[in-house]
Structure 1
């Protein structure tokens, strides 16, 4: 990528929105291509630091979160987008959950010894090495009044980027390129996780635009010059990043929204889940302090509930 600085005539469309923890659309002037950009700082550090994930597992989850925000932030309705992948590899399951308020959460289930073994010989093992044979799934949840819609494809390639590209081509017949990056940066207080993602898609041709093949080839060529380090560098603003890619063609950033790590767990939700167990099963869960301990898989918050309160909530629900 050429190291151009924004010209004086370039006017960012981002306004007063922060340069971090955001998802935004971008448009290249006159091109039949749409794109989205995600930058994650504090939000992804909160999600990944909640658990003692091995570095490759944290990176995989970071990719899933960036991807969920990339795709989910384009939704035109209220609801959630869930990105997940599961297989027979060292990482059994990775899931990232985005809702249209810009809230993100995610977690992984994995076998630490198997992850360590699979990491030998790799700088960082990718999705295929970690997940093995399995499936990539995107689920749209529009709430209790609608049925969930789900698309499933085999895990393709060594990254979630390739799995997502395969998903869009197979499930939606939309030519798509995705770039995801996760890494840690040095801060004043130590190190922190960062993640970023970018996506471009070809819009169907019409009489006004004519042939799109040449433009799509050019867009992909420019997009492929995007580096992982640029996507996660906190000193590079979203406007500068896009200007470096498409400065000759006129690019604008629009429809930005803030992203935040927020989990939907609560004592009431935990009590509701525990209420589905029998009285005997709940009795077996009681710890020496006389309470039932439950740890949220997403945010690692530990809830300590009184068995009597759980029993009362279960009785009320029935």
Structure 2
């Protein structure tokens, strides 16, 4: 870690110096939290997410190939980073669709901290796309397509959706391009997904999945601030020293990571929110969907045991529905 600290000191030396503030007194935070921060006295704000059991539960719900699991883990971390900034009760949906081995990836965050996600893919095509790559990124897996973020404020409000083309190789680059084009907000994003060594995570029968995300944004200058571009450039230089292993380190709390990055400027941490794996599927929702089908179509869904079986594509829970219950409740 000494080499990285030296790079950070060199990055700071290229810009104006700031008083060194006392280390943060906030207690270390556990896994499955997303929190906001701002560089002290500077026009830069951000959020950091660290995920352990929540992302492990989401990814273990499906037997995804490793490249697909990595892509979905990144989408979930990104949804938590962006969605946690919503100022109202609702949902943020991060989605990418393409013509490649992965047809689409979607991560759904609600403002209570619930997360779910799903990928649709062709296993043979994923294996072919992974040849020669240690970890194929979004562009390699999705091919030509679109990246979308959708804000859902509830049934009585219109949805807001922004769409950009998939051009960056990584999902983080797709997000940066989205903010530049749709929000006109300079933004940097880093996402990381990996598996903890045995004994470092809660997974049974294997390594546990972990994910992390880090986002910084530039607050535009105004008359009171004057030019603030130097502060943004300096913060980006420090951001570039952030490694994926730091976002995944089980022994490195978010507050310590922030202090390690920005201690010479100072960093102020705001409220944090717990994250959890949560799916909105239920028996009643499944029955409502089935009732929307014509009776003859439902008859074709009945399996040998006399029931209709429906598997939730998000959490893999299987629901068994009595056809007669759909008729009597209709």
Report what 1:2 is aligned to.
5
Give TM-score scaled by structure 2 length. Answer: 0.91
- Give the Cα separation in 2 of the matches to 1:8 and 1:183: 33
Report what 2:234 is aligned to.
218
Contact 1:12 1:253 in 2 (8 A): no
Instruction: Please point out which of 52, 58, 61 is paired with 1:47.
Output: 58
- Give the Cα separation in 2 of the matches to 1:25 and 1:8: 18
Report what 2:280 is aligned to.
264
The DSSP-based 3-state class of the residue aligned with 2:300 is helix
Report what 2:197 is aligned to.
186
User: How many residues are matched?
Assistant: 310
Report what 2:162 is aligned to.
151
Q: CA deviation at 1:8?
A: 11
Q: CA deviation at 1:209?
A: 2.0
1:84-124 CA deviation, whole Å, 9 max, x = no partner? 00000000010000000000000000000000000000001
- Give the Cα separation in 2 of the matches to 1:114 and 1:311: 42
Report what 1:82 is aligned to.
93
- Give the Cα separation in 1 of the matches to 2:79 and 2:276: 13
Report what 1:109 is aligned to.
120
- Structure 1, unpaired ranges of 5+: none
Contact 2:21 2:263 in 1 (8 A): no
- Give the Cα separation in 2 of the matches to 1:258 and 1:312: 41
Contact 2:24 2:259 in 1 (8 A): no
Instruction: Please point out which of 80, 84, 103 is paired with 1:73.
Output: 84
Instruction: Please point out which of 296, 302, 310 is paired with 2:318.
Output: 302
Contact 2:21 2:265 in 1 (8 A): no
Q: CA deviation at 1:168?
A: 0.4
Give TM-score scaled by structure 1 length. Answer: 0.95
- Give the Cα separation in 2 of the matches to 1:206 and 1:148: 31
- Give the Cα separation in 1 of the matches to 2:70 and 2:195: 9
1:132-152 CA deviation, whole Å, 9 max, x = no partner? 000000000000110101000
Report what 1:11 is aligned to.
24
Q: CA deviation at 1:19?
A: 1.9
The DSSP-based 3-state class of the residue aligned with 1:285 is coil
Contact 2:44 2:219 in 1 (8 A): yes
Contact 1:70 1:199 in 2 (8 A): yes
Q: What is the RMSD computed on CA atoms of the aligned residues? A: 1.5
Q: CA deviation at 1:208?
A: 2.9
1:186-222 CA deviation, whole Å, 9 max, x = no partner? 2335310000000000001123322111111101010
Report what 1:249 is aligned to.
265
Q: How do 1:50-61 and structure 2 match up within 5 A?
A: 50-61=61-72
Report what 2:244 is aligned to.
228
Report what 1:286 is aligned to.
302
- Structure 2, unpaired ranges of 5+: 9-19
Once structures 1 and 2 are overlaid, which stretch shifts more, 179-188 or 142-151? 179-188
Report what 1:171 is aligned to.
182
1:219-245 CA deviation, whole Å, 9 max, x = no partner? 101001000010011110001111111
Instruction: Please point out which of 206, 210, 219 is paired with 2:222.
Output: 206
The DSSP-based 3-state class of the residue aligned with 2:226 is coil
Report what 2:16 is aligned to.
none
Contact 2:31 2:52 in 1 (8 A): yes
Contact 2:307 2:322 in 1 (8 A): yes
Contact 1:12 1:252 in 2 (8 A): no
- Give the Cα separation in 1 of the matches to 2:225 and 2:253: 31
The DSSP-based 3-state class of the residue aligned with 2:82 is helix
Residue 26 of structure 2 corresponds to residue 26 of structure 1: no
